Structure 1
Amino acid sequence: MSPILPLPLPDADTLRDALDVYPDTRRVECATGDFSSVARGKHVGRADFEGQTGCKLPSVVLGLTLTGGEPVDVIGPVLPASYADVHLVPDLSTLAPRPGRPGELCVVCEPTGALRPALDASALSPRAALRAALARLRAAGLRATVAPELEFFLLERGPAGELLAARAHPDAPARERACEAYSLERAGHFDGFFDALYDACATLRIPVSGHAHESALSQYEVNFLPGEPLAQADAVWRFKRLARELAARRGFLASFAAKPFLDQPGTGMHWHLSLQHTDGRAWPHAFSPPGGEPVLQHVIAGLQAEAAAAMAFCAPFDMSYDRIRLSDAAPSHASWGEDSRSLAFRIPASSPAGRRVENRLPGGDANPYLILASMIGLGLDGLQAGRLPGDGQPLPISLTVALDALQASTTLRAHLGSPLIDAYVGIKRHESAERHAQPDPRRDWDLWHLVELA
């Protein structure tokens, strides 16, 4: 039995009231995120959306690889081979105008529907897995606040398919040819792109707070204000799609691939996490209590205990391990400590109220829902068991090793359910096998697919 429960179906009056806020709506985009964070779903007319309370989608979508493959370890053993429909249930708190599309709304959905006895489609939803982790946290009398930092590249392809720094416009002659770290001048070339990105983020209530040129060729980082974990995961998932769409309209690529240039730093998705008590105490901040209880250290110990298995989520593709092996401030051990960017679990300098841990393991290609679901679940394990952190073991340096660790992890199976773990491992092994079947895996698979889809 999966620990994950379906998203409740909104009643007719609640759905109608939510739609009435946007009286000119003609269509609604129903979107759900798969294991690789690809947005999948349908555009449906308003009447159909209201009549179905969402829409239907073939269940096979829940088991697809990044390239549309149907792994034999997933379709049949986990998902039924009948391609039966599942129901995409909308979370109306995410309903918003679709940026740049008058008369259209978009909403984040989760799948539900019986796939086989005792298995609902929600068991294969990364977003539902995060909801389950948050429910467990609430039962412990805690809530979490998180803030992501997300890096990405602005690129274009040369005549032979090689990757180059993007030009702000296809006809513009200016191109970055050596890393201009933190350059306001180079970032200014892309003001139009970032203006459109900020406007779209405001429409979708994505709490972006700033951006800067990062420390790799044509790489940028976007920061987010702190917030509630489910909303923050939605924000990152939506942001990645927005950045890709808006870049494509301007003739270049926004890429979250982990290591598109082997001689440049990779792409990170760092998550800052703090916990607060919900029992009304005067000082709610669990990581800096007046009595000095080492809650923060317990949480870090929980993250360390299953770091090898969690790496399958933090680094979900073979290319992701180039970022670890060819490290440039990317952690290679499950280490922890104060304010060093080489650590996996860093404690930044802060005020007592801002005390937090930064997980620096995830790459920009990671699924934000699975990252937060595993972080919160494992951190709570460490807290409830009273564990204390150690030096930190070496992290897997290949996807195969990380997937083996995830497959064997009874702890993450207890949190996320065996159906989700088995489907995720099956999908990622299929992608890896497809990649390794290419004459030049990095050129023919990584740089062909991951640059545009990761």
Structure 2
Amino acid sequence: MPPIPTLPPMDPEAARQALSDLGAQAVECVLGDFTSVARGKRVHRDDFLALGGCRLPSVVLGLTLTGGEPEPVFGPMLPRQYSDLTLQPDLATLAPRPGRPAEASVLCEPGGRWWSEHHAREVDASELCPRSALRRVLARFEAEGLTARVAPELEFFLLQRDEAGGRITLDSARAHPGAMARESACEAYSLERASHFDAYFDALYAACATMGIPLSGHAHEAALSQFEVNFHPGPPLAQADAVHRFKRLAREIAAQHGFLASFAPKPFLDQPGTGMHWHFSVQRHDAAWPHLFAEPDGADSAELGHFVAGLQDQAPAAMAFLAPHDMAYDRITRSDASPSHASWGGEDRSLAFRIPTSGPASRRIENRLPGGDANPYLTVAVTLGLGLAGLQAAKAPLPTCNERHALARSLPDALNALDASSTLRDLLGAPLIDLYVAIKRHEQAERAALDDPRQHWDLRHLIELA
């Protein structure tokens, strides 16, 4: 496995000046976990400058979605004594925290080393970090003389949740606590229904502008109380950062308006699910024609097919990242335009890897497999890393209907495929794969032990934390 490119140490004077420019007296140090929940600590600026970030117990790397601490993780993989980590900030991500005039927020990666019984060697905390994993993949791209641009599309639901007699029910959101109007049937692409939530989206756009999140628009989607936001194209790491931050902002601002914003993959079994679609283009460095996926005359290049072949080859294992919870397989098995095979082709939204109609300079591949619950860093890392492996192998993609590329139909199947994938172990590192699989197996077993897992696990936990 190639070494992880480390973040440069924080320059105290540069950090001091940046905080002064923002008028920040406190800094929120943010670490994204496998679910992309924002974990971390708020510290005074003087402590932030003195420590070069902040400290956090190592337990944070091994928590499940419900706050569990799996036995196969603590001791074998992570320190039993919960020793401290350093949260090392990436100052390029320092931004004002919306609605908090004297507070800044910065994305961090963990630092620290310990002996891993499971791997019989010292492990660095950065080996277990989704953001670090994406930076490792991007370093491979750079080494091949390639760069990428990506553009995400996120779907999410605006919901009201009621709980009575131990049962949870979901309904469409009211635009504010006193509002009478509620969507009773799907009003797909309705500008009128979307306008009921103008105050929410105005606040969301303003918060995104404050944090540099490049939204380009939104619309009511094709399910009850479902909306989609689009992003301008940009560099992969910055876009993954933006999606990580956006999901948190969408949830926080919804709570302020009296409803829930949920990225859960299939809240309603009779409605389409929630996708997180990503468009990828690849460019060559220092080339007269830099666009890898098309020829100057507009024809698809051979490299486009090679990239798709790499995605197809490991799609069953990649599903553990792209569909990371049991509810996500309701989205796959109850299709509603969600792909069930690693299919590819042109203008067909039921395909896994769609090639949108475009000019040669904007030819791209849309990965339609990820659900709203997928981690953005791991999604981008897996897509680019497997695509690069396909470019290096130079294989042709298989036909759309080929049964060899049926997707995993359950989370246990996907985790087994991931555990056995030497390609993804090489790409992301064995420590990350082993920790991820252990956490997800614990969550899956916890859910499976319940009498009504959809009620008492999915709707109780995943609706708010996906």
What is the TM-score when the length of structure 2 is the normalising length?
0.95
Q: CA deviation at 1:28?
A: 0.3
Q: Deviations over 1:373-426 (max 9, x none)?
A: 111111000001111100351101100000000000000000100000000000
Aligned to 2:292, what secondary structure does the other structure show? coil
Q: Following the alignment from structure 2 to structure 1, what is the Cα–Cα distance between the partners of residues 325 and 354? A: 24
Q: 1:305-324 alignment to 2 at 5 Å? A: 305-324=313-332
2:185 match: 178
Secondary structure in 2 aligned to 1:103?
strand
Aligned to 1:71: 70
Deviation at 1:77, TM superposition (A): 1.6
Determine if the alignment matches structure 1 residue 136 to structure 2 residue 140.
yes
Aligned to 2:447: 435
User: What's 2:388 paired with?
Assistant: 380
Return the alpha-carbon distance in structure 2 between the equivalents of residues 416 and 149 of structure 1. Answer: 24
Instruction: Tell me, yes or no, if structure 1 residue 42 matches structure 2 residue 41.
Output: yes
Counterpart of 1:389 in structure 2 is: 397
1:282 aligns with 2:281: no
Displacement of 1:5: 3.9
Correspondences of 1:164-203 after superposition (within 5 Å): 164-203=171-210
Deviation at 1:157, TM superposition (A): 1.3
Paired residues of 1:334 and 1:345 also in contact (CA < 8 A): yes
Secondary structure of the equivalent of 1:158? Answer: strand
How far 1:349 sits from its partner (Å)?
0.2
The aligned amino acid for 2:102 is G
How far apart are 1:181 and its partner, in Å? 0.2
- Match in the other structure for 1:296: 304
Tell me if structure 1 keeps the 8 A contact 2:213–2:246.
Answer: yes
Match of residue 375 from structure 2:
367
Does structure 1 residue 447 correspond to structure 2 residue 459?
yes
Query: Hey, what does 2:153 align to over in structure 1?
Result: 149
3-state SS in 2 of match to 1:162 = strand
Q: Does 1:6 align with 2:18?
A: no
Distance 1:38 1:72 in 2: 22
The amino acid of 1:431's aligned partner reads E
Counterpart of 1:41 in 2: which secondary structure?
Answer: strand
| Distance in 1, Cα, partners of 2:353 & 2:4 | 27
Q: 2:431 aligns with which of 419, 435, 449?
A: 419
Shift of 1:237: 0.5
Residue 15 of structure 1: SS of its match in structure 2?
helix
CA distance in structure 2 between the partners assigned to 1:17 and 1:128 by the alignment: 26
CA distance in 2, matches of 1:431, 1:296: 37
Q: Deviations over 1:267-286 (max 9, x none)?
A: 0000000000112x222111
AA partner of residue 377 (structure 1): G
Q: Distance in 1 between matches of 2:354 and 2:363?
A: 11
Q: CA–CA distance in 1 between the matches of 2:2 and 2:320?
A: 20
State the one-letter code of the partner of 2:187.
E
CA distance in 2 between counterparts of 1:408 and 1:139 reads 27
Question: Residue 86 of structure 2 aligns to a residue in which SS?
Answer: strand
Structure 1 pair 300–176 and aligned structure 2 pair: CA distance change class (3 A)? same
Between stretches 13-22 and 362-371, larger displacement belongs to 13-22
CA shift at 1:3, angstroms?
A: 4.1
SS at match of 2:141: helix
Q: Which residue of 2 aligns with 1:216?
A: 223
Q: Could you tell me which amino acid in structure 2 is paired with residue 297 of structure 1?
A: G
- Structure 2 unaligned blocks of 5 or more: 116-120
CA contact (8 A) 2:305 2:397 kept: yes
The letter for the 2-side match of 1:284 is P
RMSD between aligned alpha carbons?
1.2
Counterpart CA distance in 2 for 1:219 and 1:3 is 41
**2:245, 2:140 → 1: CA distance?**
25
1:412 aligned counterpart, secondary structure: helix
3-state SS of paired residue (1:241)? helix
Q: Deviations over 1:28-65 (max 9, x none)?
A: 00001000111000000000001011000100100100
* Equivalent residues in 2 for 1:226-375, closer than 5 Å: 226-279=233-286, 281-290=287-296, 293-375=301-383
Distance 2:21 2:284 in 1: 35
Which stretch has the larger CA shift, 104-113 or 391-400? 391-400
What pairs with 1:71-150 in structure 2 (closer than 5 Å)? 71-116=70-115, 117-150=121-154
8 Å contact 2:188–2:223 — kept in the other structure? Answer: yes
2: CA distance between counterparts of 1:448 and 1:4? Answer: 37
TM-fit CA distance, 1:159 = 5.0
Retained in 2: the 8 A contact 1:6–1:112? no
What is the CA distance between 1:20 and its match in structure 2?
Answer: 2.7
What do residues 55-86 of structure 1 show as CA deviations (whole Å, max 9, x unaligned)? 00100100100111011121122111110101
Alpha-carbon distance in 1 for matches of 2:39, 2:3:
24
For the residues of structure 1 that align with 2:278 and 2:114, how far apart are their CA atoms?
33
> 5 Å matches for 1:9-28?
9-22=9-22, 24-28=23-27
Instruction: Please tell me whether the aligned partners of residues 4 and 416 of structure 1 are also in contact (alpha carbons under 8 angstroms).
Output: no
Give 1:439 deviation, angstroms.
1.2
Contact 1:145–1:274 (8 Å) recurs in 2: yes
Q: Does 1:61 align with 2:60?
A: yes
Q: Please state whether the residue corresponding to 1:167 is helix, strand or coil.
A: coil
Q: Distance in 1 between matches of 2:19 and 2:24?
A: 8
TM-aligned CA deviation for residue 336 of structure 1: 0.5
What amino acid sits opposite 1:95 in the alignment? L
Give the secondary-structure state (helix, strand or coil) at the position aligned to 1:319.
helix
CA contact (8 A) 2:19 2:25 kept: no
- Give unmatched runs, 5+ long, in structure 1: none
